[in-house]
Amino acid sequence: MFRQHKALFILFLLTFFLQFVYPAINTRLHYISNTHNSPSPGKGTLVVDVEAMSDDGNSYPMSSFQNALQLDSQFQSQNPVVTFSNQLFPSPDYTTTEDYNNTTKPGRIRFVYTFDSGTQGVISTNWTRIVTITIVYDMGGSSGSISWYNDIPEYFCTDNSNSQNQESEEAIPPELNDISLPVELSSFTITPGNHTATLQWNTASEVNNSGFEIYRATEKEGNYVMVASYQNTPSLKGTVNPSQGHHYLYTDRNLVNGQTYWYKLADVDFNGHINFHETVSVIPNTSGAQLQRQERLPNSFQLHQNYPNPFNPTTTIQFDIPASSQKMVQVQLTIFNPLGKKIRTLYQGSLQPGSYTLVWDGRDDAGNAVASGLYFYSIRTDNFLFAAKKMMLLK
């Protein structure tokens, strides 16, 4: 009799405890990037993944999953725009609620997924992305941080048997405890030379900055290749005084004159995360004059009137090489005085079809400032197209 009661008691205990033993689902935030001047100058874009993992050796289809993050008051004041992507639990299989609330629940980023029908998302024994959260914010002097939201809805998830199986939320990564601008640029310029391009930039401040990397491509949306790094170029290492700005300079050599090059500047923090700044372009040439190429492809050869005109001390000259031209066209743009004497070869080299602008600084080939008066500028190509116009320098 005793043995029978003992067996029943053990069975009761097992039944009692089993109803509370569920698969344990942990969740965490995974820092992806904090990109400056993206999507536009003066903006920052922070990207994080919410991830979850089953820690009991089994994978589980999920019936529901919800959680929320909290942006601190400083971050809220930076007017963030929050978007969601790469969901593990997509609509229409799941009823989805994703929002950023900066009014009734200030700073709350909420994501709730409830299974309806179709295919269920599965949380495996490896860290699995639940959703990617992208936060675009205005740059400013302040910094912000992200934490787990500690009000309803808190972290909650269920499996197919509707058993609650949330376990723990890992600590927020250090990169998200202080979302500041590791490197803030006050200027970034690029200057063409003869087979060269010189990049210069000034930092307003540097925090957690190991140094800079420079990437180059021959198309704006092309394949960027790293051409220089702080790891092998001492001049690109971050400054030792993070509270003050610093001037940086790098010259990229052995380039093809007339070819358009696109450059991306990136800073790398002490954790190895790469943050990209704005993209700039340049066209190397023998004169070193500022030559810019526009995106549009013109239909005809044309030399435009300079602007402003009259001018002092600089003026911009625009010319078009039609899309029907060969891949590279030999071009010479020259400045003459009224007597026909050449003053300046502003550009000489090969160019792709496109619309170009050149800036003349009112100087001759020797670098001397020329006198006020009337001047002519002409363009000639290798297929004997020729055009000329006049302009007035007034000092």
pLDDT given for residue 139 in this prediction = 62
112 or 57, which is more confident: 112
287 or 194, which is more confident: 194
Average model confidence (pLDDT) across the chain: 84
AA letter at 29: L
Residue with tokens 């008691």: 9
Helix (H) or strand (E) holding 152: none
Model confidence at 239, pLDDT cuts 50, 70, 90, reads confident
pLDDT given for residue 22 in this prediction = 52
Model confidence at 84, pLDDT cuts 50, 70, 90, reads very high
- Is the pTM for the entire model greater than 0.75? no
Model confidence at 194, pLDDT cuts 50, 70, 90, reads confident
Q: 237 is written with which tokens?
A: 């290492």
User: For residue 177, is pLDDT > 90?
Assistant: no
User: For residue 140, is pLDDT > 70?
Assistant: no
What residue ranges in 230-385 does DSSP mark as E strands?
Answer: 246-252, 261-269, 274-282, 291-293, 302-303, 315-321, 329-336, 342-351, 354-360, 373-381
Max avg pLDDT among 34-48, 223-237, 271-285: 223-237
User: For residue 18, is pLDDT > 50?
Assistant: no
Please tell us whether the domain made up of 25-176 is placed in CATH 3.30.230.10.
no
Model confidence at 190, pLDDT cuts 50, 70, 90, reads confident
Report pLDDT digits (tens) over 353-374.
Answer: 888 898 898 988 888 899 999 9
pLDDT given for residue 15 in this prediction = 41
Model confidence at 276, pLDDT cuts 50, 70, 90, reads confident
pLDDT given for residue 17 in this prediction = 42
Q: 201 is written with which tokens?
A: 């930039």
As assigned by CATH, the class of the 183-282 domain is mainly beta
Percentage of the chain beyond pLDDT 90 is 44
User: For residue 52, is pLDDT > 50?
Assistant: yes
Alpha carbon distances (Å) from 99 to 265, 304, 357: 33, 51, 46
Report pLDDT digits (tens) over 226-236.
Answer: 999 999 999 99
The residues near 291 (Cβ < 8 Å, ≥ 6 apart) are 192, 282, 283, 285, 347, 356, 357, 358
pLDDT given for residue 255 in this prediction = 92
Model confidence at 19, pLDDT cuts 50, 70, 90, reads very low
Q: What is the mean pLDDT of residues 206-223?
A: 88
Residues of the chain with CATH 2.60.40.680: 25-176
DSSP annotation string for 54-72: E-SS--EEEEEEEEEEEE-
Cβ contact 119:41 at 8 Å: no
Residues of the chain with CATH 2.60.40.1930: 291-393
The residues near 335 (Cβ < 8 Å, ≥ 6 apart) are 342, 343, 344, 345, 346, 360, 375, 376, 377
Q: What is the mean pLDDT of residues 335-360?
A: 88
Please tell us whether the domain made up of 291-393 is placed in CATH 3.40.47.10.
no
Max avg pLDDT among 87-101, 163-177, 242-256: 87-101
Q: What is the mean pLDDT of residues 64-75?
A: 92
pLDDT given for residue 243 in this prediction = 60
User: For residue 11, is pLDDT > 50?
Assistant: no
Q: What is the mean pLDDT of residues 328-355?
A: 87
Phi/psi at 222 (5° precision): -85, -165
User: For residue 37, is pLDDT > 50?
Assistant: yes
Cβ contact 316:349 at 8 Å: no
